Protein backbone atom coordinates (compact mmCIF):
# COMPACT_ATOMS: atom_id res chain seq x y z
CA UNK A 1 0.00 0.00 0.00
CA UNK A 2 1.17 3.53 -0.78
CA UNK A 3 2.58 4.87 2.47
CA UNK A 4 1.08 8.35 2.03
CA UNK A 5 -2.40 6.88 1.67
CA UNK A 6 -1.83 4.51 4.57
CA UNK A 7 -0.59 7.21 6.93
CA UNK A 8 -3.37 9.61 5.93
CA UNK A 9 -5.93 6.95 6.76
CA UNK A 10 -4.23 6.20 10.06
CA UNK A 11 -4.30 9.91 10.90
CA UNK A 12 -8.08 9.95 10.93
CA UNK A 13 -8.12 6.83 13.10
CA UNK A 14 -5.44 8.06 15.49
CA UNK A 15 -6.93 11.50 15.99
CA UNK A 16 -10.32 9.92 16.59
CA UNK A 17 -8.65 8.34 19.60
CA UNK A 18 -9.06 11.70 21.29
CA UNK A 19 -12.58 10.69 22.25
CA UNK A 20 -11.02 8.05 24.51
CA UNK A 21 -8.16 10.05 26.01
CA UNK A 22 -10.15 10.94 29.11
CA UNK A 23 -11.65 7.53 29.81
CA UNK A 24 -12.30 7.38 33.52
CA UNK A 25 -11.40 4.67 35.98
CA UNK A 26 -14.81 3.14 35.35
CA UNK A 27 -13.98 2.99 31.62
CA UNK A 28 -16.70 5.46 30.75
CA UNK A 29 -15.74 7.66 27.79
CA UNK A 30 -15.65 11.36 28.58
CA UNK A 31 -15.24 14.42 26.39
CA UNK A 32 -11.88 16.14 26.18
CA UNK A 33 -12.69 19.18 24.13
CA UNK A 34 -10.83 17.59 21.23
CA UNK A 35 -11.78 19.12 17.89
CA UNK A 36 -12.41 16.29 15.45
CA UNK A 37 -12.30 18.84 12.62
CA UNK A 38 -8.54 18.75 13.18
CA UNK A 39 -8.54 15.47 11.24
CA UNK A 40 -8.33 17.59 8.13
CA UNK A 41 -5.36 19.58 9.43
CA UNK A 42 -2.11 18.82 7.65
CA UNK A 43 1.05 17.85 9.47
CA UNK A 44 2.68 21.07 8.30
CA UNK A 45 0.16 23.11 10.32
CA UNK A 46 1.01 21.40 13.61
CA UNK A 47 3.57 22.80 16.05
CA UNK A 48 6.01 19.96 16.68
CA UNK A 49 8.68 22.00 18.46
CA UNK A 50 7.89 20.34 21.79
CA UNK A 51 8.45 16.79 20.55
CA UNK A 52 11.92 15.55 21.41
CA UNK A 53 13.83 12.78 19.66
CA UNK A 54 14.36 9.83 21.98
CA UNK A 55 17.98 8.75 21.78
CA UNK A 56 20.62 6.63 23.49
CA UNK A 57 24.40 6.63 23.22
CA UNK A 58 27.07 9.11 22.29
CA UNK A 59 26.14 11.63 19.62
CA UNK A 60 29.68 11.30 18.27
CA UNK A 61 29.38 7.52 17.84
CA UNK A 62 30.65 6.34 14.42
CA UNK A 63 27.36 4.66 13.45
CA UNK A 64 23.86 6.15 13.56
CA UNK A 65 20.88 3.81 13.92
CA UNK A 66 17.24 4.88 13.75
CA UNK A 67 14.54 2.38 14.65
CA UNK A 68 10.93 2.81 13.54
CA UNK A 69 8.61 0.69 15.67
CA UNK A 70 5.06 0.42 16.95
CA UNK A 71 4.23 -0.42 20.56
CA UNK A 72 1.43 -2.71 19.31
CA UNK A 73 3.71 -4.64 16.94
CA UNK A 74 4.58 -8.13 18.29
CA UNK A 75 7.74 -8.29 16.14
CA UNK A 76 8.86 -4.98 17.68
CA UNK A 77 8.23 -6.35 21.17
CA UNK A 78 10.29 -9.44 20.36
CA UNK A 79 13.10 -7.30 18.96
CA UNK A 80 13.22 -5.13 22.07
CA UNK A 81 13.07 -8.00 24.51
CA UNK A 82 15.79 -9.93 22.74
CA UNK A 83 17.93 -8.29 20.06
CA UNK A 84 17.87 -4.70 21.35
CA UNK A 85 19.13 -5.59 24.81
CA UNK A 86 22.29 -7.08 23.32
CA UNK A 87 22.71 -4.23 20.85
CA UNK A 88 22.50 -1.74 23.70
CA UNK A 89 25.05 -3.61 25.79
CA UNK A 90 27.55 -4.24 23.01
CA UNK A 91 27.20 -1.22 20.74
CA UNK A 92 25.22 1.67 22.27
CA UNK A 93 26.65 1.59 25.79
CA UNK A 94 30.18 1.14 24.41
CA UNK A 95 30.04 4.31 22.30
CA UNK A 96 29.92 2.59 18.92
CA UNK A 97 26.29 3.43 18.02
CA UNK A 98 24.07 6.45 18.51
CA UNK A 99 20.51 5.12 18.63
CA UNK A 100 17.26 6.97 17.90
CA UNK A 101 13.84 5.43 18.51
CA UNK A 102 10.90 6.76 16.48
CA UNK A 103 7.32 5.70 17.14
CA UNK A 104 4.96 4.49 14.42
CA UNK A 105 1.22 4.85 15.03
CA UNK A 106 -0.76 2.24 13.11
CA UNK A 107 -3.63 2.29 15.62
CA UNK A 108 -5.12 4.06 18.64
CA UNK A 109 -3.43 1.89 21.30
CA UNK A 110 -0.05 2.53 19.69
CA UNK A 111 -0.58 6.26 20.01
CA UNK A 112 -1.71 5.93 23.63
CA UNK A 113 1.34 3.81 24.45
CA UNK A 114 3.60 6.44 22.91
CA UNK A 115 2.01 9.13 25.05
CA UNK A 116 2.45 7.00 28.17
CA UNK A 117 6.11 6.32 27.32
CA UNK A 118 6.75 10.05 26.99
CA UNK A 119 4.80 10.96 30.10
CA UNK A 120 7.82 11.26 32.42
CA UNK A 121 10.11 12.86 29.85
CA UNK A 122 13.27 11.60 28.08
CA UNK A 123 14.99 10.35 31.24
CA UNK A 124 12.43 7.61 31.86
CA UNK A 125 11.32 7.08 28.27
CA UNK A 126 13.24 3.91 27.53
CA UNK A 127 12.40 2.38 30.89
CA UNK A 128 8.69 2.91 30.28
CA UNK A 129 9.05 1.69 26.69
CA UNK A 130 10.65 -1.50 27.95
CA UNK A 131 7.74 -2.06 30.35
CA UNK A 132 5.21 -1.42 27.58
CA UNK A 133 6.87 -3.96 25.29
CA UNK A 134 7.42 -6.49 28.07
CA UNK A 135 3.73 -6.44 28.99
CA UNK A 136 2.38 -5.95 25.47
CA UNK A 137 0.31 -9.13 25.42
CA UNK A 138 -1.27 -8.19 28.76
CA UNK A 139 -2.44 -4.66 27.96
CA UNK A 140 -3.58 -5.67 24.47
CA UNK A 141 -5.34 -8.88 25.45
CA UNK A 142 -8.85 -7.42 25.90
CA UNK A 143 -8.91 -6.15 22.29
CA UNK A 144 -11.38 -3.58 23.61
CA UNK A 145 -10.32 0.07 23.31
CA UNK A 146 -11.63 1.10 26.71
CA UNK A 147 -9.98 -1.93 28.30
CA UNK A 148 -6.67 -1.31 26.55
CA UNK A 149 -6.72 2.33 27.58
CA UNK A 150 -7.35 1.34 31.19
CA UNK A 151 -4.64 -1.31 31.18
CA UNK A 152 -2.06 1.11 29.77
CA UNK A 153 -3.01 3.57 32.51
CA UNK A 154 -2.51 0.86 35.14
CA UNK A 155 0.84 -0.11 33.64
CA UNK A 156 2.04 3.49 33.82
CA UNK A 157 0.98 3.84 37.44
CA UNK A 158 2.60 0.50 38.31
CA UNK A 159 5.78 1.84 36.70
CA UNK A 160 5.84 4.71 39.18
CA UNK A 161 3.89 7.52 37.52
CA UNK A 162 1.15 9.34 39.41
CA UNK A 163 -2.47 8.78 38.40
CA UNK A 164 -3.09 12.48 37.74
CA UNK A 165 0.13 12.70 35.74
CA UNK A 166 -0.89 9.76 33.54
CA UNK A 167 -4.40 11.12 32.99
CA UNK A 168 -2.98 14.49 31.98
CA UNK A 169 -0.61 12.86 29.50
CA UNK A 170 -3.35 10.77 27.90
CA UNK A 171 -5.68 13.78 27.67
CA UNK A 172 -3.13 15.99 25.89
CA UNK A 173 -4.74 16.19 22.46
CA UNK A 174 -2.33 18.85 21.18
CA UNK A 175 0.60 16.58 21.94
CA UNK A 176 -1.18 13.71 20.20
CA UNK A 177 -1.46 15.80 17.05
CA UNK A 178 2.18 16.87 17.30
CA UNK A 179 3.36 13.28 17.78
CA UNK A 180 1.38 12.19 14.76
CA UNK A 181 2.76 15.04 12.65
CA UNK A 182 6.34 14.08 13.57
CA UNK A 183 5.60 10.42 12.83
CA UNK A 184 4.15 11.29 9.42
CA UNK A 185 7.05 13.52 8.44
CA UNK A 186 9.76 11.06 9.49
CA UNK A 187 8.09 7.90 8.20
CA UNK A 188 7.42 9.37 4.78
CA UNK A 189 10.93 10.81 4.56
CA UNK A 190 12.45 7.38 5.23
CA UNK A 191 9.77 5.46 3.26
CA UNK A 192 8.69 3.36 6.24
CA UNK A 193 5.82 0.95 5.60
CA UNK A 194 6.46 -1.83 8.12
CA UNK A 195 7.78 -2.29 11.63
CA UNK A 196 10.33 -2.69 12.93
CA UNK A 197 12.43 -0.94 10.30
CA UNK A 198 15.92 0.47 10.72
CA UNK A 199 17.94 3.21 9.11
CA UNK A 200 21.62 2.38 9.60
CA UNK A 201 23.84 5.23 8.43
CA UNK A 202 21.19 6.20 5.89
CA UNK A 203 20.44 2.68 4.62
CA UNK A 204 17.04 1.09 5.29
CA UNK A 205 16.81 -2.44 6.72
CA UNK A 206 13.96 -4.64 7.85
CA UNK A 207 13.73 -6.75 11.01
CA UNK A 208 16.72 -9.02 11.60
CA UNK A 209 18.48 -11.21 14.12
CA UNK A 210 21.16 -9.95 16.49
CA UNK A 211 23.90 -11.68 14.51
CA UNK A 212 22.80 -10.05 11.25
CA UNK A 213 22.50 -6.65 12.92
CA UNK A 214 25.91 -7.00 14.54
CA UNK A 215 27.49 -7.99 11.24
CA UNK A 216 26.22 -4.81 9.58
CA UNK A 217 27.40 -2.66 12.48
CA UNK A 218 30.83 -4.32 12.62
CA UNK A 219 31.33 -3.74 8.90
CA UNK A 220 30.48 -0.05 9.24
CA UNK A 221 32.61 0.37 12.35
CA UNK A 222 35.48 -1.46 10.64
CA UNK A 223 35.84 -4.33 13.09
- Computed on alpha carbons and rounded to an integer, the radius of gyration of the chain in Å comes to 17
Q: Is the pLDDT of residue 181 over 70?
A: yes
Query: What H or E segment, with its residue span, contains residue 212?
Result: helix 210-221
pLDDT average, residue stretch 92-114: 95
Tell me the helix, strand and coil percentages in the chain, rounded to 5.
Answer: 55, 10, 35
Domains for the chain: give ranges and CATH numbers: 3-22+53-221 (3.40.30.10)
Q: Please give the average per-residue pLDDT across 118-135, as a whole number.
A: 96
Rounded CA gap, 173 and 21, in Å? 8
pLDDT digits (tens, 9 = 90+) for 18-49: 433 333 333 322 332 333 234 334 566 788 99
- pLDDT tens column, 136-170: 999 999 878 899 999 999 999 999 999 999 999 99
Give the pLDDT band of residue 15 (cuts 50, 70, 90): very low
Overall pTM surpassing 0.85 (yes/no): no
Amino acid sequence: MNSKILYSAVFAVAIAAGTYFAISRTSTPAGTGFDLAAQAQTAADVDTSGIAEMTLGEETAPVKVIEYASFTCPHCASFHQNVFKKLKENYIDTGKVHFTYREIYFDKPGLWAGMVARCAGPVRYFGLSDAIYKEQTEWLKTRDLAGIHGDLRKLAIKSGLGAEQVDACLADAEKAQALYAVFLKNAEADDISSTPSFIIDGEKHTNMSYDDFAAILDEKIGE
